[in-house]
Structure 1
Amino acid sequence: MGHLAFLLGLLFEATSICGIPFCSDDGQLAFYNSCNLTEVPRVPNTIIKLFLSYNYIRMINATSFPLLEMLQLLQLGTQHTPLIIEREAFRNLPNLRILDIGYSKIQFLHIDAFQGLPNLFELRLFFCNLSDSILKDGYFRNLSSLSVLDLSKNAIQNIHLHPSFEDLKSLESIDLSQNQISHVCERDLKLLQGKRFSLFNLSSNILFSRISVNWEECMNPFKNMFLEILDVSDNGWTVDIIQNFSRATNGTKILSLFLKNHIMGAGFGFHNIKEPDQDTFAALGMSSMIKMDISHGFIFSLNSHLFETLKKLKLINLSYNKVNQIAKEAFYGLDSLQVLNLSYNLLGELYNSDFYGLPNVAYIDLQKNHIGAIQAQTFNPLKNLKTLDLRDNAIKTVGFLPSITTVFLSGNKLVSFERRGITAEFLDLAENRLETLTDFYTLLQIPGLKFLILNKNRFSICYQHYSSSKNYTLEKLYLSENMLELVWQTGSCWNMFKGLYQLKVLFLNNNYLSFLPPDVFSDLTALQILSLHANKLTSLSPGVLPANLRVLILSHNLLLSPDPSIFASLSHLDISHNQYICDCEVKNFILWLNQTNVTMLGSPEDVYCTYPGSFSGVSLYSISTEGCDEEEALKFINFTLFIFFTTTLTLFLTATVIFTKFRGLCFSLWHKMVQRLTFKYHRQGVEEDQHKYDAYLCFSNKDFEWVQNALLHHLDSRYNSENRFNLCFEERDFLPGEDHINNIRDAIWSSRKTICIVTKHFLKDGWCIEAFNFAQSRYFSDLKDVLIMVVAGSLSQYQLMKYPPIRVFVQRQPYLKWPEDLQDVGWFLNKLSQSILTKKEEKKKSNNIALQTVATVS
């Protein structure tokens, strides 16, 4: 508690010194923390609070302070040098209420150091290197108003109280935590008998755990005391120690007992430490205890009748243990219990009998276990149960849910939701695996539902449209981090908010939304707050927002040039971090930003331009709209140019469409015309060539029929006299009986070009691959473009690159692809013919790649 009080003190400082410069005062508050002081500064006698921490003050004596009759708080803690406090060091502070010397190493403390402080209410001496003498030597004499004494984090080993403690009638809080106290007996605290303590803190010592205690001699340390909170946590207590302590303190009124960080229980997989049983806490039944904290331990099994005698207990905290088993009637006798905390344990299943004996329990916390199975009647007998927390478990179904006010089921494995008569006001189903909006519509049917959380699910499917319910009471709906864009872009479930007339808050963050369906919010007449944060909205249509909406969050979207009229009814708006285009189209929006009464959430610097580049990052609030009026004069010219270019573009597009649709016919007519004009020239060029063949056609035997119909009939002169080329292919022109390799070699070197028809059969034919290799070797020999590759069928680039000779060719030059559309065949054959006729010398060349950056603004 000492360090907590210290931190609270610092927080109190921070909230009290706003506007006061360091190392100065304002007449009532003097702030001299971290000012390198070696003595107390002179301050006005009107000062109420004086802060002197983090300095180098070595000594405080009777003359250190001037008479400060109004001073109520003095903070001297955390001095950087050892501190000496002399006799009556604070006598000039007669009305001091709080004295804080914590975290200062006290080198010397006079026994009369605190004399002259009749009104001192709280004394903080934590972490001051104090020993047993602070309690036994009378340092706190005459402190009749002292109520809170903090001696935590010191070196106290034994409690021997000075007789003056009997006179401390106002004392109600003692903090002795984090010392080295080994035992406390009745004789040690006899002077405190008859007192009422709001806190008696003995946590984090070595109390009763390092020594053997004769409890018959020690007896009850807290005899005739009334303790609102007794904290004996983190003392290494076992079942036996707690049982003996409970018996010793039998009859003492202890409203709240803290036993955190104990070592009761075998834990998981061990059996050498005792589990608590019905005798462990039995003697506490006379203490009128209403709160018990036995968290952070190793309890594995809650045994039968474990808390039977604790009839008045209202809250029990069993969190952070290893509870895996709940015995039958483990909670028997807890008739008054209202809060049961079993979070952060190892429960895997819950059974119908687990919570028997809890007729008045209102809150059960079971989060962060491993619960995957729950019997259907587990919670039904708990008629007063209002809140059930099952977050972060492994639950897949909800058939166990009773009618209840509040249910937390986030972080489970629900893939669907069946209502089955459930009623609830608050339902948290975030971070589950719900996918279809069927579950969403089912949830809306729950009577009385007011608060629904569905964040971080997987809503992305809508099978059908559903009609709205007639008794909606839903007020707050959270649907963030789902995938509603996938639903709405199919045109489905645009009515998912239909009938939600009472909805006031709707969160749709992070749903990848690029648009809002028309009238999607039309029934949300009571909606006050709408969050569309972190979506992909580029604009909002007029009328899409509910009329009564007051708060709209549109940050981190892609808004370009929003229409300010859309935001007219709002009181608060967040439009930060969007993609604003700062041209004259956004003029009205900029003017509205600087004139509106709408409260803008976020910083003005976060509302910035992204285009054009010269304005990138500039706040819209600092953009001038001067010069935009000149553009009005250009509107007529722009309109005329628009008509002209639209007409031209229409004619061009019409011609393009006609050509695309009938390109085969167009090419055929063009080809015939060109053929008549250049036929003689081409025939002469063929005849003058010294090669025996114009081209060697290499293909797989399995593709012969297709090659014959697709190529030979249209190119080979011996198939049709009107064809121009003398082609060579295996079935007709190879010499029978001749070695096949020789036939391939002769065909390649006797032809001007080699055409390889690459198909799936080609790639599996070893002779074809060998022929491709020979043709490529001729290329490297003559440095002439003598190889033409035609790919036919559904072959991927990956399939081609698997063959080294083909990979080398593809990396060197392009290949031809047989067209998929029949009307492109004529064009392809002409392209192939041109490739056969072309004589091209190959040279080393470099490929230049031009990079273009195209910016489109819409």
Structure 2
Amino acid sequence: MKSYTAINTRIAEALMENNLPVKDIHSIGLEGCNFETFSVKALNFSTDIEEIEISNSNISILSSDAFKELPQLKQIIFNKNHIGEVSTDAFNGLNVLEKLVVSQNENFDILQRGYLRNVPALENLELRRNSQINSVEDDSFGFLPKLVYLDLSYCSLTKISKNAFSNLAILETLLLSENRISNLNKYAFKGLHKLLLLTLDGNSLRDLPEGIFEDLSSLEKLRLQDNQIKTLKISHFNGLVNIKELNIANNKITRIPEDLFNTFLNIESLNFAGNNIEEIENGAMTKLKNLNDLDLSGNQLRDLPENLFEGLTNLEVINLSENKFERVCGTFIKNFENMAELVLSNNSIKVLEKHCFQNLPHLVTLNLHSNSLENLDNQAFENLPSLESLNFENNRLSVIQNGAFQGLGALGELTLTKNNINMLERNCFDNIKSLTTLYLDGNNIKSLPLGLFKELSTLENLRLSHNLLTDLNCEIFQELSSLNYLYLDENYLSNLQSGCFEGLELLNTLDLSSNGITTIAPSFFTGLRELKDLYLSNNKIEFIPTKTFINSPNLQNLYLDNNLISNIESNAFQGLGYLAILSLKANKLKQWQANAFVGLDSLGDLYMDFNEIETITAHQFENVPELEALSLQNNNINKLESNIFAELPKLKRLSLVNNKIASLPEKLFSGLTSLANLDLSNNTLDHISAEDFAGLVQLSHLFLKYNKISRIEPNSFKDLASLSEIDLSENELHEVNSYTFAGLVDITHLKLCNNQISKISVADFEQFQKLLCIQLVDNPLSSEILDQFVHKYNCSFPIDDL
């Protein structure tokens, strides 16, 4: 909006739409406006307004009476504006203003020229993302005695003066993150006795002045992560008697001295992740009686003093991942009464001896992901009665012995993914009867001993993907009565036996992809009445027999992609009344009979891309009346019958991309009153006639790129009142005029790239009130014409990305 008249008209319309009097409006937002001189006097709203937001606007002058006569104004937000001249008295008279947000504005440094001298009630000042702000001087906040919250993050600060914040006696939050601060004056935070949160993360600090935090006796959270600090001493933290959270991750610290935390009597969380720490002196943690969470991940630690954590009875979480530990048993990992989570992943641990984890009665999660473990001692976990999750992913285990998990009666999740396991002893899982999730994928398992899962009656999720299984003893799964998910993909199970899954009455998902299976039969799926998702992709199945899935009546999603299917027998999917998705991509189908889809009463999505289909008929879809998405991309279809989609009144998405369609029969789509997305790209269409898209009243996206269209009859799109986007790029159009797109009242984006258009006028598109973008690159048009379109209809993103 470029005038006060336009803005006031919009305000009046909004009041009328909501049946509100002016006096009831307490908040107003102005976006995308142009003001020569901004003044609220020119706007028709009540003087009792309490909140104003101006964003993405141009303000040439912010005058001294910009906000005059608004005695109740409590909040102002300036966001992403371009501001020219600002009067030093712009905020005068705002005696009750409590919150001021000035963010991402150009040409306006609010800390200069005393702009903040006359807002005595201000409590919240947010100045984030103002690149003009590069320093805080002694008097920058000298007139804000009630300020509680100050955000200066993501600016360009390099300097903070000696007493910059000394007058902010009740300030509680100070955010200085993501600036360019490399040095701090010792007295930079002088006087901030009430401060609770200080963030200095994401700067360039190399060191800290001794005693810099001396006045911060109330500080609870200090964030120093993502700097370049190399050394810490106790004198750096003098005064921090109430600190509860310290984050100094991702610096360059190499050593933690014995006395560093002597004053941290209330600390609850310490984060030193991502440093270069090689040594922690004994006694460094002794006084941290309230410590709950300790993160030392991503350092260079090889060992820790044996009594480092002695007396830390409240410690619940320790993260020691990504260090260089080779051994942890019998050292510092013991006697943690309340320890709940221990992370030791990405180290070099080679062995876990007997009684490795002593006196950890409440440990719930143990993560040993990515170490060098080759064996598991059968008494290593004897003292972990509460352990629920154990992760050994990406180690070097080759054999899982009987008794390996002795003592883990509460274990619910066991991850053995990506090891070298080639043998599972028959009773190796007998001690973990509460197990619900077992991951064995990515190993070298060739066979499963009978009785392996006999004690796992509560197991719900079993992954055996990416192994070397060649056959299954059909009794192997009999005891898994609670199993919901079974993944057997990426094995060599080419010959499944009948009834192998018969005992899995609760199975929800079965993945048999990538096994080399050549045939499937109804007996394979006997007993799987609750099956919802079945994956059979990437096999060598050649045909689908009659009633193949009759024993899985609740199946909802069926994937048969990348097989060799050339024949679907009659009634192949009979009994699948709840099937919603059927995917038959990348097979050898040339044709199928109409009764192949008998019984698919609820089918919503059908994918038949990358087959060898040449012709399709209306009868082939008469048994899928609920179909909403049909994809026939990358086939050899060269001819379409006029009534072909007559049986699909609910179709919303149709893709015929990359076929050999040269023409569209009259009223081909006339029955598709629900169709919203139609893609005919990459065909050989050479013209569009007036009746081609008749009846597509709900169509919103039409893609016709990469055809040979040279002519579009006038009014060809007249019925497409809902169309918002059309892509005609990569065709052979020579001329576009006011009749070409007549009737497209909702069109917003039009792509005409890479045609032969030499004649086109901006005036022809003025009838389209909602049009935002026209792309015309790579057409033989003069720079003058292109500039006119760029000026009025420019868009910087491709239509495909919308």
Query: TM-score, normalised to structure 2's length?
Result: 0.62
Q: Show the counterpart of 2:580.
A: 405
- The 1-side partners of 2:323 and 2:278 are apart by 16
Q: Show the counterpart of 1:610.
A: 779
Cα distance 1:591–1:551, how it changes in 2: closer, same or farther (>3 A)?
closer
Q: How does 1:190-269 map to 2 (within 5 A)?
A: 190-195=358-363, 197=364, 199-209=365-375, 219=403, 221=405, 223=407, 226-241=410-425, 243-247=426-430, 249-251=431-433, 253-265=434-446
Match of 2:742 among 552, 566, 580: 566
- The 1-side partners of 2:480 and 2:531 are apart by 14
Q: CA deviation at 1:315?
A: 1.1
CA contact (8 A) 1:582 1:615 kept: no
Could you tell which deviates more after superposition, 298-307 or 320-329?
320-329
CA contact (8 A) 1:455 1:481 kept: yes
Q: Show the counterpart of 2:615.
A: 436
Deviations 1:275-332 (CA, angstroms, capped at 9, x unpaired): 11322333333xx221122222212222222222222121122223333232333324
Cα distance 1:279–1:105, how it changes in 2: closer, same or farther (>3 A)?
farther
- The 2-side partners of 1:479 and 1:326 are apart by 36
CA contact (8 A) 2:337 2:360 kept: no
Cα distance 1:467–1:510, how it changes in 2: closer, same or farther (>3 A)?
closer
Q: Show the counterpart of 1:105.
A: 276
Q: Show the counterpart of 2:565.
A: 395
Cα distance 1:494–1:143, how it changes in 2: closer, same or farther (>3 A)?
farther
Cα distance 1:568–1:387, how it changes in 2: closer, same or farther (>3 A)?
closer
Helix, strand or coil for the counterpart of 1:620?
helix
CA contact (8 A) 2:315 2:336 kept: no
Q: Show the counterpart of 1:149.
A: 319
Helix, strand or coil for the counterpart of 2:573?
coil
CA contact (8 A) 2:746 2:770 kept: no
Cα distance 1:344–1:67, how it changes in 2: closer, same or farther (>3 A)?
farther
- The 2-side partners of 1:389 and 1:203 are apart by 32
Q: CA deviation at 1:590?
A: 6.3
CA contact (8 A) 2:725 2:750 kept: yes
**1:283 correspondence with 2:446:** no
Helix, strand or coil for the counterpart of 2:779?
strand
- The 2-side partners of 1:620 and 1:407 are apart by 44
- The 1-side partners of 2:259 and 2:335 are apart by 19
Amino acid aligned to 2:483: L
CA contact (8 A) 1:29 1:49 kept: no
Match of 2:590 among 408, 415, 420: 415
Aligned residues: 573
- The 2-side partners of 1:530 and 1:580 are apart by 20
Helix, strand or coil for the counterpart of 1:192?
coil
Q: How does 1:191-590 map to 2 (within 5 A)?
A: 191-195=359-363, 197=364, 199-209=365-375, 219=403, 221=405, 223=407, 226-241=410-425, 243-247=426-430, 249-251=431-433, 253-265=434-446, 275-285=447-457, 288-399=458-569, 400-402=572-574, 403=576, 404-420=579-595, 421-423=598-600, 424-438=603-617, 442-443=620-621, 445-462=623-640, 464-466=641-643, 469=646, 472-484=649-661, 486-488=662-664, 493-538=665-710, 540=712, 541-554=714-727, 556-558=729-731, 559=733, 560-563=735-738, 566=742, 568-570=744-746, 572-575=748-751, 577-579=753-755, 581=757, 585-589=760-764
Higher helix residue share: 1
CA contact (8 A) 1:322 1:346 kept: yes
Q: CA deviation at 1:71?
A: 8.1
Cα distance 1:280–1:450, how it changes in 2: closer, same or farther (>3 A)?
same
Cα distance 1:468–1:597, how it changes in 2: closer, same or farther (>3 A)?
closer
**1:59 correspondence with 2:228:** no
Amino acid aligned to 1:546: D
Amino acid aligned to 1:167: E
Q: CA deviation at 1:180?
A: 3.8
Q: How does 1:55-134 map to 2 (within 5 A)?
A: 56-65=228-237, 74=247, 76-77=249-250, 79=251, 83-87=254-258, 89=260, 99-113=270-284, 123-131=294-302, 133=304
- The 2-side partners of 1:430 and 1:47 are apart by 59
Cα distance 1:191–1:468, how it changes in 2: closer, same or farther (>3 A)?
same
Q: Show the counterpart of 1:696.
A: none
Deviations 1:138-159 (CA, angstroms, capped at 9, x unpaired): 4385373634635256424343
Helix, strand or coil for the counterpart of 2:418?
coil
Cα distance 1:133–1:254, how it changes in 2: closer, same or farther (>3 A)?
farther
Deviations 1:585-629 (CA, angstroms, capped at 9, x unpaired): 514146568xx43343xxx7x5447334555975622489xxxxx
Residue segments in structure 1 that go unaligned for 5+ positions in a row: 1-15, 266-274, 625-858
Cα distance 1:519–1:178, how it changes in 2: closer, same or farther (>3 A)?
same
CA contact (8 A) 2:257 2:280 kept: yes
- The 2-side partners of 1:193 and 1:255 are apart by 21
- The 1-side partners of 2:381 and 2:244 are apart by 47
Deviations 1:405-425 (CA, angstroms, capped at 9, x unpaired): 211211222111323214122
Cα distance 1:18–1:117, how it changes in 2: closer, same or farther (>3 A)?
farther
Amino acid aligned to 1:556: S
* Percent of matched pairs sharing the same residue: 20
Q: CA deviation at 1:382?
A: 1.0
Match of 1:174 among 342, 346, 356: 342
- The 1-side partners of 2:680 and 2:554 are apart by 34
Helix, strand or coil for the counterpart of 1:523?
coil
Residue segments in structure 2 that go unaligned for 5+ positions in a row: 1-126, 131-153, 161-172, 180-200, 383-400, 794-802
Amino acid aligned to 1:309: E
Deviations 1:728-757 (CA, angstroms, capped at 9, x unpaired): xxxxxxxxxxxxxxxxxxxxxxxxxxxxxx
Amino acid aligned to 2:177: A
Cα distance 1:104–1:218, how it changes in 2: closer, same or farther (>3 A)?
farther
Cα distance 1:305–1:517, how it changes in 2: closer, same or farther (>3 A)?
farther
CA contact (8 A) 2:529 2:554 kept: yes
Amino acid aligned to 1:250: I
- The 2-side partners of 1:532 and 1:97 are apart by 61
Deviations 1:111-142 (CA, angstroms, capped at 9, x unpaired): 454567677665443342334547x5443853
CA contact (8 A) 1:159 1:181 kept: no
CA contact (8 A) 2:258 2:284 kept: yes
- The 1-side partners of 2:330 and 2:129 are apart by 44
Q: CA deviation at 1:518?
A: 2.6
- The 1-side partners of 2:636 and 2:762 are apart by 40
Considering only CA atoms, is the larger Rg found in Structure 1 or Structure 2?
1
- The 2-side partners of 1:457 and 1:95 are apart by 69
- The 2-side partners of 1:590 and 1:468 are apart by 33
Q: CA deviation at 1:509?
A: 2.6
- The 1-side partners of 2:202 and 2:405 are apart by 43
Amino acid aligned to 1:61: K
Cα distance 1:378–1:174, how it changes in 2: closer, same or farther (>3 A)?
farther
